[in-house]
Amino acid sequence: MSESLWHKPGETLSHKNACKEFGLTEDEVFEAIKSGKLQYRENYAHGNPYFRLLRSEVKSLVGELYGPQHLEAQAVKHQLQKINREINSLKRKLKSLEKQKAELIERQNQ
């Protein structure tokens, strides 16, 4: 694979995120690494090692193992999780802003 893919934003992901995003197990990822289906780079975060993988290779592995329907279903599931996370974050921010607004209105009326 091209060396430049390793440096493009969004083209790589950790083996942990590959498992979460595409519904793989760590054993499947490690087996694919050993068999040469996945290229990897070893990185460290706070002293803890993890494997960086190419997203395109992970997608092709998932398609090979489970079929394209699984890949699409996992993409939809992951997108829904991201949206729900964002909605919950916005709800928390809204609650905080409403509390600040109520305090300011109360202070203004005094």
Dihedral pair phi/psi, residue 48, rounded to 5° = -100, 130
d(CA 64, CA 18): 15
* Percent of the chain's residues with pLDDT above 70: 97
Question: Model confidence over 23-35: pLDDT tens digits?
Answer: 899 999 999 999 9
Q: pLDDT tens for residues 25-77?
A: 999 999 999 999 999 999 999 999 999 999 999 999 999 999 889 888 988 99
* Per-residue pLDDT band at 90 (split at 50, 70, 90): very high
Among the listed residues 46, 49, 65, 60, the one whose alpha carbon sits nearest the alpha carbon of residue 14: 49
pLDDT at 17: 93
Q: Looking at the whole model, is its pTM more than 0.75?
A: no
- Report pLDDT for 41: 94
Is 1-66 assigned to CATH 2.40.128? no
Question: Whose structure tokens read 């595409």?
Answer: 22
Helix (H) or strand (E) holding 51: strand 48-54
Residue type, 2: S
Backbone angles phi and psi of 2, in degrees to 5: -65, 140
Provide the pLDDT for residue 99.
97
List all residues 6 or more positions away from 62 whose beta carbon is below 8 Å from its beta carbon: 22, 23, 24, 70, 71, 74
Confidence tier at 10 by pLDDT (50, 70, 90): confident
